[in-house]
Amino acid sequence: MSRHVESYDALVSVMSLTSLEKLNETIEKYQTAYEEDGNAGLVDLLRERVQIDRVRAVAKTYSKLSLSEFARLLDLTDAAHAETMLHGMVSRGEVDASVDGTLGVVRFAEGWEKPKSKGIATELTTRLRAIADLTAKIRDQEAEITRSRVYVQRKESRSQLAEVRAAETVGE
């Protein structure tokens, strides 16, 4: 149970960072846990939304910048990765920008925002808060269980039984 809590704690902690690479690393590290919980699709949506939001934040600040500077601002591996990501976002209509790979420059259109994106972001934020609340409840219940007298007695009984079995195995 604690492995699953750890996976969501890690996801929440990297959400506040500006690094898309760290977010992707965390998602990849705990992918199995998210799949087992049936939340892999939600986590993929989170990854996409964070990426879009970070790019839009840069687009609000800059009208033009080099791909290498763009990659640095988003903590991406390199300009080529940034260019590939931007081309995908432009083709999906997630951001209005033009990328000049020859010059290594990206230009953002001013005042552009897809109308339905705010609703999706709000829904995602609501779901992430619900996940964080559930994570906290699981952590509290786990702590309560481990302090339970019945749990401790059963755990001690199992440990003693394991020791007896180990001793019997050694004696054979």
Residue 155 Cα to chain centre, angstroms: 34
Low-confidence winner among 1-10, 22-31, 75-84 (lowest mean pLDDT): 1-10
- Which is nearest to 70 in space by CA: 45, 95, 44, 36? 95
The domain limits of the chain are 2-171
The number of beta carbons lying within 10 Å of the beta carbon of residue 76 is 23
Q: Which residue's structure tokens are 């609340």?
A: 133
User: Six-digit token pair at 122?
Assistant: 């709000």
Q: What is the pTM of this model?
A: 0.53
Rg of the chain over CA atoms, in angstroms? 23
Q: How confident is the model at residue 17 (pLDDT cuts 50, 70, 90)?
A: low
Kindly list the strands in the beta sheet with 97-100, ordered across the sheet, starting from the edge strand earlier in the chain.
64-66, 105-108, 97-100
SS3 of the chain: helix, strand, coil, percent, to 5: 75, 5, 20
Task: Decide yes or no: CATH 1.10.10.10 for domain 2-171.
Answer: yes
